[in-house]
Structure formats: C-alpha cells, structure tokens
Amino acid sequence: MQITVTTLSDQIFTLDVSDDLELENFKALCEFEIGIPAKEIAITWNGKPIQEDKRSLSSYGIKHGDMLLLQHNRGAQGLQQSMPRQGGFDIDFSSVPIPGTSQQSAARNQPPDPEDPAYIRELLLKNPHELSLLRERNPELAEALINGTFEKFKDVLQRQTRERKEKEMERIQLMNADPFSAEAQKMIAEEIRMKNVESNMETAIEYAPESFGQVVMLYIDCVVNGHHVKAFVDSGAQMTIMSEACAERCNIMRLVDRRWGGIAKGVGTQQIIGRVHLGQIQIGKDFLQSSFSILKDQPMDMLLGLDMLKRHQCSIDLKRNVLVIGTTGTETRFLDETDLPGHARLNVGPMSPKAAEEEDELLAEAIHKSQTEQQATAGATSNTNTNSSSNTPSFPEQVIKPLVDLGFPREAVLHELTLANGNSQQAMGALFAKSLKVPDGPK
C-alpha cells in the first residue's frame, strides 16, 4: 500500500510499504527519506500518536492512501511537547526557546559568513596550500595577511572585493548594452584568455608543483681586499657589480671612477656610482682580476657577472654543485641554503601595482638626474673648449695642413703645436708617439 507522509515544515513524500510493516521499520524508511533519526520521529494518525514500535501499520487501522504526520522530537522534552493536548490540539513547542538557557550554542551552530574578514583570515592561515596559492596569485593580500594587522588585512580584502564587484557590474552592464560591440568582444576575449591562464596554472600545480618552489641562488665565498664577501654567481648579468656598502667595507671606494656613473636597468633599476677598473678577487687559493661597477642601494654585496666568468673561463656545474675556474682548474662549492645571506632567501613573487608604480617613479627620477648631470657636464666641456680655443694661439695654415694630412685630428695638431711653441717637427714627433697606430700618409 501507499502511505503519504507530511511534516510540520510542509515536506511531503510517499512510501510504498506492506501491510504488516512494523512501526519501527516505517520510521527507518522515513529516516532514509528525510534525514531525521528514527529515535526522534513521532508519527500521528488522525490526531492520535502511534507509539508502539513493534505493532504493524495495519493493526492501527492504517490503509492504502492514508496520510500520516511526522514530527521531529528533540529529546525527552520534545517527545512530551509533541503529544497532543486534551481537546484535540496538536502543538509543537520544540522551536520555543526555554527561558534561562544560553543562545550561544545556537549561534555556534550557525554557518559562518563567507564574507567575514575574520573567518577568511583564519581559514587561510589554517590552510598552507591555500596560503601558498595566495602568495602566487594575490601577493598584496598575502602580505597583509602574513605581515600586517587584522585591520590592514580587512581593508585590503574589502577594497579588492569592492573592486571585483564593480568590475563585474561593469561587465554585466556592457554585455546588456551591446554584447557585439568592440569593447564587449575585447572583454570576452580577455576572460577566455584568463580562463586559459588559470587552467594552465592549475595543471602546473598538479603536475609540476616544484615550479612554484623557491630556487636556491648560487653563492660562493670569496675575499676582496682582505674582507670576506658572499658573491652571487649570475651568468645572466653583463658585468660584475658591488654594492656601495660592500665597497666601503672593502676600502675600495677611493678607486671608484665616477665618470662611469649611470643607470643599470634589468629586472629593476639602480644607480651606478662609478667603476673600479681593476681589483682582485680571492676564490679559494686563486687571485683573479676583475673590474667592479659600484651600485647604490644594492641589496647583495657582490655579483659575479659574465665579464668575469668569461675572462677566467668559469663553468657552473650544477650536478656537482661547484664553480669550476677554467684558467686555474680549481673548484669551489656553492653555499648551502643555510649559509646564504638574508636577502637571498626572500621569495619574490609578482610585483604589486604600488611597488611597480614606485619603481617607475625611481626610474624616471634616476633618468632625469642622469640627463641633468650629462647636460651640466656637456656645458662645462663646451665652456672649457670655448675658453681653450680662445686662448689657443693661431698658427699658419701651411704649418697645420701637413700634419692634418697625415691623418691626425685638427684639435690634436693644434694642441701639440701649442706645446711645441709652433715647432712642427716636434709636434709631429709627439703626435706619432701618442698615437696607438701610425696613421697612413697622404694619398
């Protein structure tokens, strides 16, 4: 027979049962359908409770097509409250709070708010995997979570949530206005591209998780002017550089040629103070010659660039974790991770927009300063040349022309004639002596 079951919350379902099915087994079927434990189910038929679990449904007079009322009893009090009162009324008092009881347990059972900053912060801190993904995908929020206060994390989270909702609203408005416009199509293409990027990143996380790990940089121990320095080996750098602080510590700032100042631009931008044209680096028992470009505000002490590595025919052997110096045949091991300087352990992620803006400002300031210094130098050189040319004595053209025809610059000829007091033979000898290559004679 078919029995229809209804609840006080207007849930209705139908069960196909046999006539001799016992009440406890019927409750078990109801538990499977609605999820309420069988021990907490009370059945009422025609306003009368059915309480004897071992009796069959037909013994109560229940037949095909009847409707039964199912109530959820929470404990002994719920069972008593589910009993009908005299007079035929059936009132459920289970949802009425009992005076004197605390509401904290009910509050704890409520699901957490997914937009609550405190809940999100706690969830991320408890999940290392999600925290690592946050570092990769949202470094600004990760920085506020790890190193900032709760208020800072809350501000960043709310700002990003607000921006994300505003962009979504703009997208919806644009799509509703004209989905075939150039702007809408451009936005759709960007969404498809980002989905491909996310899919590629998820694949990399699953099949190549090591690509998201931190790579230990290649450092070696060396000595410069009697001072120990941990040098970073970088075959991708064009020149060997040293920080201003390290140069002062090694007492070589007195050798810096500031005429070689400028701007170094690569992954970032830094100001070049000048250059030490020749210095010695002791690696193990070998003393190797190298030049140094001195950089201002450089975090690492020294970087061995391609100029030094090629000059001494160095090889980076990653299998044995050594640097082989080809000119001497010696080897030196790269430092272990525990021996690296502090800045070498930083896990550098994508640059935040604020950091990128600050980098652009520093680059513009450095370029402007360099241009100003170049203009000032050019002006001083021009004034010097003007003054020197005005003070340069005049010589007959028949004395100057033969020397110029030998291939020497006119300025150099005038300079040597001035030093030789107009003696063309003495000037000619000086010009040949100072030239790196004997110029060809007149044709």
66 is catalytic: no
Q: Are residues 24 and 31 in contact, defined by beta-carbon separation less than 8 angstroms?
A: no
Kindly state whether residue 298 falls inside one of the protein's structural domains: yes
Instruction: State the burial class of residue 64 (Cβ atoms within 10 Å of its Cβ: 0-12, 13-18, 19+).
Output: exposed
Catalytic position from the list 92, 234, 286, 307: 234
Instruction: State residue 93's pLDDT score.
Output: 55
Q: Strand runs (DSSP E) across 284-334, as ranges? A: 286-295, 302-304, 314-317, 322-325, 331-333
Both 326 and 233 in one domain: the answer is yes
- Give the pLDDT score at 84: 47
Question: Is 277 a domain residue?
Answer: yes
**Do 32 and 146 fall into the same domain?**
no
Which residue has better confidence, 394 or 89? 394
In a domain, 67, yes or no: yes
Burial label for 353, CB within 10 Å (0-12, 13-18, 19+), is exposed
**Inter-CA distances, 182 with 20, 171, 176, Å:** 72, 13, 14
User: What is the C-alpha to C-alpha distance for residues 50 and 68, in angstroms, rounded to an integer?
Assistant: 10
* Mean confidence (pLDDT) of the chain: 78
pLDDT of residue 322: 94
pLDDT for res 360: 62
C-alpha–C-alpha distance, residues 85 and 277, integer Å = 104
pLDDT tens digits, one per residue of 332-384: 999 988 888 877 754 444 555 555 566 566 666 666 665 666 566 555 555 55
Q: Is the pLDDT of residue 391 over 70?
A: no
pLDDT, tens only, 134-180 = 777 788 888 888 888 888 888 988 888 888 888 878 877 777 777 78
Q: Are residues 204 and 226 in the same domain?
A: no
Are 223 and 287 members of one domain?
yes
17: pLDDT strictly greater than 80: yes
For the chain, how many structural domains are there in total? Answer: 5
- Which domain-ending residue is among 18, 38, 72? 72
Domain of residue 299, residue span: 219-344
Q: What is the pLDDT of residue 85?
A: 46
Looking at residue 143, its pLDDT comes to: 87
